[in-house]
Amino acid sequence: MAAKKLGLLALAGAFVLKFAKIIIFAVVGFGAAVMNFFRRKPRNDNAGGPA
In tens, the pLDDT along 2-45 reads: 767 778 888 988 888 888 999 899 999 999 999 888 887 666 66
- Which residues are CB-contacts of 49 (< 8 A; sequence separation ≥ 6)? 43
Rounded Cα–Cα distance for residues 15 and 3 (Å): 18
What single-letter DSSP state applies at residue 48?
Answer: S
Q: Is the pLDDT of residue 47 over 80?
A: no
Rounded Cα–Cα distance for residues 45 and 51 (Å): 8
Q: Could you tell me how far CA 20 lies from the centroid of its own chain?
A: 12
pTM of the model: 0.46
Res 32: pLDDT: 93
